[in-house]
Structure 1
Amino acid sequence: MKLKTWLLGAACLFATTGLVAAETLTIATVNNGDMIRMQALSGEFTKANPDIQLEWVILEENVLRQRVTTDIATKGGQYDVMTIGTYEVPIWSKQNWLLPLDDLGADYAADDLLPAIRNGLTVDGKLYAAPFYGESSMTMYRKDLFEAAGLTMPDAPTWDFVAEAARKITDKNKEVYGICLRGKAGWGENMAFLTAMANSFGARWFDESWKPQFDTPQWKEALTFYLDLMRDAGPPGASSNGFNENLALFQSGKCAMWIDATVAASFVTNPKESQVADKVGFALAPDKGLGKRGNWLWAWSLAVPAGTKKEEAAKKFIAWATSKDYLALVAEKEGWANVPPGTRKSLYDNPQYQQAAPFAAMTLASIEAADPTKPTVDPVPYVGVQFVAIPEFQGIGTAVGQQFSAALAGQASADQALSNAQQLTTREMTRAGYIK
């Protein structure tokens, strides 16, 4: 009887006060610095929305991709908000796996999103993911080491200059390496870098008939150049290094150059995190004089899987995390240089950001220079700079990445790795029906 009385009393209390049980959103995201900061600041969101609680699943890049892909393809329903990239959005939206985000509120200012970033997340006129940060890639380098070596970094370097400078500056006895580049296997890890680099060498994944091109001179030149450079001027164990590992190496003063995501700029110039913060310069990604630079185009974005039962709360969180107000919040807490870059025109028009972020102009130029519709010197049947926008690429790209990572580790020659890449890609593309 006492229990029944208590339950009735509790029901009356909830009814009269309007109290309701908090709804819990499960958010899957990558373990990059900007996302970790988002989690740290998310108390501001829950304070303003006490009826919503957040549960975070923060994963390494390759693991995140695998988990969210499996979950959404099997309708597992584990996540209410997913961090996905420019590759997944057009493919998944056409499968009806994502909910459109054309109702994030009048003050969301979708027209403020950079066209290059917004276009990659829009299908049939509707936004299917909201960009948390956008990026291209560029060259980050140590001005002090270049000066000591009598070298001057051009604003638009060539691969030949980069290789010469890297070899000249390397001092392995002092653990100073001329260059740090991705070697960890993964379609979004080493293959993001190597595909963009190969584009600038005149290579491409497929010809116009979807025939794989790893048996061409262009791919052999690009991969051989990369392997030789990394053996001569790269750090030990490079085949295990992805974005985060190279970031740590650069911040600790062990890399003279690092060609990678523009988003890294705020972390290498942050004196709280980087030992070389006041010594970093920026240049465009290198080229081979063929009209294409080795820079990519990407956005880590927040999306709502179609299977969620918490659509309204999920969209409310995404609108908060990708808004102009969130950028202002980060600026207030961490300084303008540390706001998530590459998403909004208003950020690059902001004099406070321009003054605080010496990398702003180079980041914007790199993003605007990448063209996913014409990523290569010769024509191709696909869209995408550092990836091929077909569902099969996720598996094929990772398998090829494993071959190239093994070559970097000394377990195979460039010729062996390219031959294996050609065979496995041909097999999978034939199986998928691209090659008749």
Structure 2
Amino acid sequence: MKISTMLAGAASLVVLTATAGTAGAQTTITIGTVNNSDMIRMQGLTSVFEEAHPDIKVNWVTLEENMLRQRVTTDIATNGGQFDVMTIGTYEVPIWAKQDWLKALDSLGDNYDYDDLIPPIRSALSVDGTLYAAPFYAESVLTLYRKDLFEKAGLEMPEKPTWDFIAEAAEKTADKDAGIYGICLRGKPGWGENMGFLGNMAREFGANYFDANWQPQFESEGWKKAITLYVDLMQKYGPPGAASNGFNENLSLFGQGKCAMWIDASVAASFVTDPKQSQVPDQVGFGAAPCGTENCPNDGFNWLWAWSLAIPASSEKAEAAQTFIGWATSKEYLELVAEKEGWANVPPGTRTSLYNNENYTSAAPFADATLNAINHADPSPTEDKPYYGLQFAAIPEFQGIGTAVGQQMAAALSGSATVDQALSQAQAIATREMTRAGYIK
């Protein structure tokens, strides 16, 4: 009797040990991401993923945009291993993939449908035909404006707006006594904050970051015109403290009905037209990016960006990480968000099938404008521009240069430096760094 009891107890112990071993086999992946609304929504749906994949647990590290970039860049450059999935953009992918810092995304699931990814976005996230980051949402640039305020001012948004028109509209729609600012633009310093906007604005005036010989162009006529107008508009018609406002701050201002115009990432359109997040959802119009030159090109002056999910080479949990990325960037995820939040709120800009879906196009009045802007953004090098990128230059040195230059532009906006002083300092900073890196002989 005692022997059988002991055997039964031993058997029970084996079962308990096996069960404990199974539970212990659960893989925890750590994801570093930005505090944008689409990413926060993804975190809210984590339980759906974990229920479908009980062997994987997700740990989130959510950071403000500039801080995220610093953390993931430091981690991947030092092989730190803090993250199994990183949220990165079209700037990092071609640089990091060529350094063998990223794992190829070749196991995202049998039903993933790589060919459904919008071609310019897939190309921007691939190196030699291999995908190294999967787009969670993608964007170009739109001019968002208040239709009611334009009507009141007797204005109509042109198909191809010029910066002269934008300046006129900012003056006519501004009503600071009523708390209405004629224009809201990024001012917070950072290579992906104010410089993301200003790099594109300079292109709208015919300038680039560098010329064909890698000479910085911050003292060129195009940059001077762009920054002079930017500072003038924002100081006269923009919100106070604009040098502290990035994408999220301007999103909040526009959603509160305080901006007559806001020129920024097309992804903002779904938030400012959502009655749950905007006080003016029915009054938002969508225009193209402005043009500062006499002849506006047919393809416009668009930027191209995708917040994407990638796996650092240092991760030892690549299989679980690919499983998560395959879920979060799939067609099925878009349908999940549509079910929970409505079609207008699904992450935009990544899949062709989304723009062929009448449920989406009928719910999202900005769909056509977004897709058109993305499809007409070509970041490839040209004879005047030796680098890949539009609002950024895809070279390792740009991150430091862009951030330092962004601080100079914020100084001009806040009035602590003149435009000429800021551009002169920017030119000196960029020239020094490009010479040190060997681009300039």
Question: Residue 266 of structure 1 corresponds to which residue in structure 2?
Answer: 270
What CA distance in whole angstroms lies between the structure 2 residues aligned with 1:6 and 1:359?
66
Report the CA distance between 1:8 and its aligned residue. 8.5
> In 1, are the aligned partners of 2:379 and 2:390 still within 8 Å (CA)?
yes
By how many angstroms is 1:337 displaced? 0.2
User: 2:332 and 2:114 mapped to 1: Cα distance?
Assistant: 13
Query: Aligned pair 1:395/2:433, yes or no?
Result: no
Partner residue in 2 for 1:297: 304
The code of the aligned residue for 1:142 comes to R
One of 313, 324, 336 as aligned partner of 1:329: 336
Query: Which residue in 2 is equivalent to 1:127?
Result: 131
Asked whether the 8 Å contact 1:197–1:295 carries over to 2, the reply is no
- 1:355 aligned residue: 362
Does the aligned pair in 1 maintain the 2:160–2:296 contact within 8 Å? Answer: no
Residue 83 (structure 1) aligned to one of 70, 83, 87: 87
Q: Which amino acid aligns with 1:143?
A: K
For residues 267 and 101 of structure 2, the distance between their equivalents in structure 1, rounded to whole angstroms, comes to 28
Give the Cα separation in 2 of the matches to 1:102 and 1:76.
23
Q: TM-score, normalised by structure 2?
A: 0.95
Counterpart Cα distance in 1 of 2:61 and 2:99: 24
Shift of 1:291: 3.6
Do the aligned residues in 1 keep the contact of 2:179 with 2:258 (CA within 8 Å)?
Answer: yes
Q: Deviations over 1:236-276 (max 9, x none)?
A: 10000000000000000100000000000000000011000
Unaligned 5+ segments in structure 2 are 1-7
5 Å matches for 1:222-371? 222-288=226-292, 289-292=294-297, 293-371=300-378
Distance 1:18 1:75, change over 3 A: closer
Deviations 1:65-109, CA, capped at 9 Å, x for gaps: 000000011111111110000000010011111000022122000
| Alignment of 1:103 onto 2:107 | yes
Moved more, 387-396 or 293-302: 293-302
TM-score by length of 1: 0.96
Which residue type is aligned with residue 412 of structure 1?
Answer: A
State the identity %: 66
What residue is the counterpart of 2:3 in the other structure?
A: none
Q: Could you say which residue in structure 1 is the equivalent of 2:5?
A: none
The residue number in structure 1 matching 2:15 is: 12
8 Å Cα contact 1:198/1:294 also seen in 2: no
SS of equivalent to 1:108: coil
Q: Taking structure 1 as reference, are residues 73 and 374 closer, same or farther at Cα in structure 2, changes over 3 Å only?
A: closer
Map 1:45-56 → 2, pairs under 5 A: 45-56=49-60
Partner SS state of residue 26, structure 1: strand
Question: Could you say what secondary structure the match of 2:102 adopts?
Answer: coil
Letter in 2 for 1:148: K
**Does 1:151 pair with 2:155?**
yes
Q: Which moved more, 1:288-297 or 1:69-78?
A: 288-297
Question: Do the aligned residues in 2 keep the contact of 1:201 with 1:290 (CA within 8 Å)?
Answer: no
Distance 1:365 1:435 in 2: 37
Kindly provide the amino acid, as one letter, of the partner of residue 42 in structure 1: T
**Where does residue 382 of structure 1 map in the other structure?**
387
**Alignment match, 2:28:** 24
* Counterpart Cα distance in 2 of 1:281 and 1:7: 72
Which amino acid in the other structure matches residue 119 of structure 2? Answer: P
Residue 137 of structure 2 contacts residue 308 of structure 2 at CA under 8 Å; is this kept in 1?
yes
Match of 1:405?
410
SS in structure 1 at match of 2:28 = strand
SS of the residue 2:111 aligns to? helix
| 1:10 Cα deviation from its structure 2 partner | 4.9
CA distance in 2, matches of 1:65, 1:9: 50
Contact 1:200–1:290 (8 Å) recurs in 2: no
- Are the counterparts in 1 of residues 301 and 377 from structure 2 also a CA contact under 8 Å? no
The alignment covers a number of residue pairs equal to: 430
CA contact (8 A) 1:179 1:258 kept: yes
Do 1:251 and 1:268's aligned partners in 2 also have CA atoms closer than 8 Å? Answer: yes
1:288-341: CA deviation from partner (whole Å, max 9, x where unpaired): 234454421000000001111111100000000000000000000000000000
Q: CA deviation at 1:425?
A: 0.4
Distance 1:186 1:216 in 2: 21
- Give the direction of change, closer, same or farther, for the CA distance of 1:13–1:384 in structure 2 (3 Å limit): same
Alignment of 1:137-176 (within 5 A): 137-176=141-180
Residue 192 of structure 2 is aligned to residue 185 of structure 1: no
Shift of residue 6, structure 1, vs aligned partner: 9.2
Residue 156 and residue 311 in structure 1: after superposition, are their counterparts in 2 closer, same or farther (change >3 A)?
A: same
Gaps in structure 1 of 5+ consecutive residues: none
Secondary structure in 2 aligned to 1:354?
helix
